[in-house]
Amino acid sequence: MQTEAFKRIMKESVPALIVAASIGTVAGTAMQLRGTEAWLAIPIFLMVVPSISELGNDAATILSSRITTLLALGVIKPKLERSEALESNIIAIVTIGVLSSFYMGIINFVVADKAGLGTTRMLPFLATCVIAVTLLTLLVCVVAVAVAFLTWRKGLDPDNVTIPISTSISDLLAIFSLLIAMRIVGFI
């Protein structure tokens, strides 16, 4: 029984993780295209990369896990139709994301400042964080729901497939959202 489960995990996870590694490398390429020197010149933005990636990953993981559980329990169906349970989860994820972006901006700025990495003013940095995370969270919701429904319809275990795919896409979206927000606020 466990051997079968192990085989299933490996069989389903490997293709998903190959896609995930490829998407992660594309995200890294997006960072590299801006230039190593550019990231090192304003290190606070290099510093914020793990935090914003985490926020995107968290949103994707929480939403994917909850959709999986809702699908497994039969509360929702993998169709694009109005569902109170699904809407509540999306509202919660976006609310958490926006609230968290303020904390992310402030704590990163304060720590960077104390560590001598803060070469920018607080308000523009905070605005960059809030814009980036809001954009990221909205995009992640669309991705998590789409990937969860598609994998469920194909009969794959969403725990093995949905999370790796949606978190990897969220990594890519995190870098792009950060770069877009930096452009909007005027850092690049």
Q: Within 78-137, which residues bind other proteins (CB under 8 A)?
A: 88-89, 91-92, 95-96, 99-100, 103-104, 107-108, 111-112, 115, 117
| Residue 57 touches other proteins, criterion: CB under 8 A | yes
Stretch that binds other proteins, among 135-143, 147-155, 159-167, 179-187 (CB under 8 A): 159-167
Task: For residue 150, give the 3-state DSSP assignment.
Answer: helix
Does position 54 bind other proteins by CB under 8 A? yes
Longest distance between any two alpha carbons in the chain, whole Å? 58
Signed CA dihedral, 13, 66, 55, 151: sign only:
positive
Q: How far apart are CA 188 and CA 60, in angstroms?
A: 28
How far is 188 from 176, CA to CA, in rounded Å? 13
The least distance separating other proteins from the CB of residue 162, rounded to whole angstroms, comes to: 9
188 in contact with other proteins (CB under 8 A):
no
> Least distance from C-beta 167 to other proteins, angstroms?
5
146 binds other proteins (CB under 8 A): no
CA distance 96 to 176: 20
